[in-house]
Structure 1
Amino acid sequence: MGRQDAPVKVMFLEITLKVGGAERLLANLLESFDPQRVQPVVAFLRDPGPVAESINLSGIKVYSNLAAGRSDPRLVPALINVMRKERPDIVYMCNYPLLMFTGRLAGLITGANTQVVALHSIGYQSRARWRTLSLKLMKRFISTFVAVSQGQKDYYVKTHGLDPKRIEVIYVGIDTERFSPTKYESARPEFNIPEEAPVAGIVAMLRPEKNHELLLRAARIIRDGGLDAYFLIVGDGPERKRLENCAQNLGIADYVRFAGSRPDVPRMLRSIDVSVLCSSNVVETFPQSLVESMAMELPVVSTNVGSVNEVIVEGETGYLVPEGDAQALAEKIAYLLQNPDLRRKMGVAGRRRVEEQFSRDIMTRHFEDMFERLARRTETRETIGR
């Protein structure tokens, strides 16, 4: 659409912004674009949730409730109307089948043919087969794919046959001002955790693939070893009741606190000494909670799954342990809980790593560079075609 002196207009096509790492990534991006480089427009298929209010307040145009459901026949006409009105240079969407099919069809009709698909899920999802099929059918029509880690890019090249030259790796970045250890007081009194007690914690939705039971088993081992430690579990989900029962059965319920879903994640992290992730294999494309923990100057201990090894520098910012190994997890957590000097050293190294590689500003600049490059490529093709 060729507007050399204007910012690149990018339409972000999403289902909702209510939950999930991909949705948090988009919310972060929308807040930090340079308006001289990127002009975002957002189209939600459903109710975007409370985040839409803050997006509107920032001056970004938002379209919402374009469809009543997946099979709503009004969806494609609604997208066509929005694209004709906004005339985006680029359409950006996640790798959900509904978004890829409807977004591509509407783009084909309106001429919005530069389309970028963000790859965020590689684990066993409820609709994994549909995602695999949609990628197989649509990959030739997508201009560029965005992976959030090198490991994720390698997975999609090997498993889905995507062209590595058409996959950009852009690490997820976080707001290092919000996640700053000097800005928050501990929430330990709220959970009746002694201020002097060693505390390990996890921030993750209570879903099977996050494998919180592994942490509870490690907690039992730590307590049996004589360390008077507590464990803070932040997040909610379908596994909560089972995990509460598990803590009871292990005899550690008095030392485990289930905080539920919390908007004050930095304050929760300020309340712990060691941050833990114990997910099963493959599902962690890029563990944002570990990056947030490192920004809060916390050492991290995680199962070595997915792309976790691209975040943690072994022995410098934390430790990696084999998947499913409660003994190894317990040993590393206990070692850090008993060594405050090492915790501080690792915490400082982790914060520095986030500032150098995983900040929101760095992520945003990479996206802006990519969008401008794609827009220039489109302008060149249009000029040659005249």
Structure 2
Amino acid sequence: MDEALLRSLIPSVLATLVRRGADFAAAEDAVQDALVEAVRVWPADQPRDPKGWLVTVAWRRFLDATRADAARRRREDLVDEEPTPGPAPVVDDTLQLYFLCAHPSLTPSSAVALTLRAVGGLTTRQIAQAYLVPEATMAQRISRAKRTVSGVGVSRGKFDQPGDVATVLRVLYLVFNEGYSGDVDLAAEAIRLTRQLAAAIDHPEVAGLLALMLLHHARRAARTAPDGSLVPLAEQDRGRWDTKSIAEGVGILQAALARDRLGEFQAQAAIAALHADAPTAEETDWVQIVEWYDELARLTDSPVVRLNRAVAVGEADGPRAGLAALAALDDLLPRHTAVAAYLHERDGDLATAARLYAEAARKAPNLAERDHLTRQAARLNDRRGR
């Protein structure tokens, strides 16, 4: 059975049920029932129209549940609307589902969590780890969000009060980053949906996000070594970068910037474009990158942005300037210790750098990053020993 296909169909099937009149929570339950049935049936007899099969089975499960619930007898008129079996219409409701999950009645964090669960297909545990909260806490948050969305109501073919574009963009970017991590491969799906959003909405920040995704995705093949270890940007084989995606991303970004409505995703894409434009790491225009980080910090006031800016300052003005910028930031920030280690190494203080790399490895959020930082510490200790 093609599990990747099954995962890719989940959001579209869920959105189809919601568009037909099922409330969100009941629709998700019905889709989960259909998935269980697919796992049981498909290995022996996979349907020619997988989406149509899932929609039909999920809709029947929803109707069965509706009939069994006396409190919901007002929905019995939906029984007459059951679609006849056959090929599913070639309509992608996934993007509308994103907007429903970004409904203004939800907080941004709840909207993101709900979308990652319902559309992205991530488990509650994965989302809880991303938010650094207990799994039970995240389960409650998602459950409340589902109940809220279930009560907002939809009109046929169009959701009544879609969430704002900014929230949808944050969701798409989180899905892209989760996919890039390798835990759940959703990067290509995030790009597809952002393309769809860009075609439907004339908004420079949508274009900025699409450009950013393309520029980051273009480096994907070079980010890991054959043994799975991380390859830092400066050490990547730039011949493995996808030049077609880079060219497309730069073109989209330039058109967005020309509209003079700068947003955070355009600024991030501009930084990524400067990295992509450099033939070698040594030829990177770090002065311009610092200027773009200044713009990004002005737009977001994000401590993570200021942390990344400290690295850029260290490259543009020297490691001691970078350390001075870093000293103004909270040392509890994620990656703060790793950045300090890198800047101390650049400054020639190998003993401090090795100690900080080892400390950063203990704090690393995943195995790949921990292995990389541990190797950096070992490399410096070996140099010191020689």
Normalising by structure 1, what TM-score? Answer: 0.28
Q: Which has the larger radius of gyration?
A: 2
Normalising by structure 2, what TM-score? Answer: 0.28
